[in-house]
Amino acid sequence: MEIKSAADFVRMTRGALAAAGFARNEKDGMVSFSSGAAGSQPAVLLHGVNDQSGTWFTVASALAKRFRVILPDLPGHGESAPQHGPLPISHIVDSLDRIVPDEPFVLLGNSLGGWIAMLYTLRYPERVRQLVLESSGGLNRPIASAVVAHDRDEAIAILRNVHGPNYVAPEWVIEALLARAHDSPMLRVTELAEHYVDDRLREIHTPTHIIWGADDGVVPLSYARALQEGISGAKLHVIDGAAHIPHLQQPERFVQCLTAIS
């Protein structure tokens, strides 16, 4: 399938999940994709802001061989409600609780998803068997990159922060980022200041692994080390050749990290 737009990319990634045997589910306005292997240990993977569950298409098949994988569209993202209005952080955490497994599970989050994963773990520590933070947000410190682009140069700079310094963006990717300056879930997220976790990291006693891209220009390695220092016993895995979305940029290394710690 030739990708000419963001909509094409979303269709391709979600189609790849279906082709890999993932079933689409909907409950209380939350859409998710899940693999089979009912006897396997469950793992819930949370995407970042402005993303959707199809982002995991490069690693879904490999992870499904080891885990019973659940890939939600976070509220206001993908096909999950609400499609309009504010997206309070507390609502995102509440909504996640409605679709997770009954037994303890691995909880992994990328970027905003990592922040949500920490908040969920703080609220329900007995339900999360292992916590995995991939280029996670959640700290009250400035990120290293702008997130909104108003012209092509700004868009290219942001995309290289996200995907690596040598990333050459297709035209449709640049256009999609420019469009987000006016219409994106990111602009709807609220309650950020109320939910920073800097002062709560010591409350996380769940075994924690931190996966980070060496070239992350959004939340640099200093951010990862602050998380590692704050969460007792947390282990840091740095992936060369990856930036802010290691599971897309170095999928094989990402899978190796995740399967090694499970």
214-257 residue pLDDT tens: 999 999 999 999 999 999 999 999 999 999 999 999 999 999 99
Cβ(93)–Cβ(122) under 8 Å? Answer: no
pLDDT of residue 2: 83
DSSP, residue by residue, 171-185: HHHHHHHHHTTTS-G
Task: Compute CA 115 distance to the chain's CA centroid, rounded to the nearest angstrom.
Answer: 9
* Domains defined along the chain, listed by start: 6-261 (3.40.50.1820)
Residue 132: CA count within 13 A, CB half-sphere: 26
pLDDT tens digit sequence for 181-220 = 888 999 999 999 999 999 999 999 999 999 999 999 999 9
Task: Answer whether residue 38 shows pLDDT above 70.
Answer: no
Task: Answer whether residue 77 shows pLDDT above 80.
Answer: yes
Structure-token pair, residue 188: 């709807």
Backbone angles phi, psi at 140, to 5 degrees: -85, 70
Tell which residue, 208, 214, 206, 211, has the closest CA to residue 255.
Answer: 211
Q: 3-class DSSP state for residue 236? A: strand
Task: Compute CA 258 distance to the chain's CA centroid, rounded to the nearest angstrom.
Answer: 14
Structure-token pair, residue 259: 């399967």
The pLDDT confidence band at residue 179, using thresholds 50, 70 and 90, is very high
With b for 16 or more beta-carbon neighbours within 10 A and e for fewer, the 93-124 pattern comes to bebbeebbeeebbbbbbbbbbbbbbbbbbbeb
The pLDDT confidence band at residue 1, using thresholds 50, 70 and 90, is low
Cβ(106)–Cβ(43) under 8 Å? Answer: yes
The pLDDT confidence band at residue 39, using thresholds 50, 70 and 90, is low
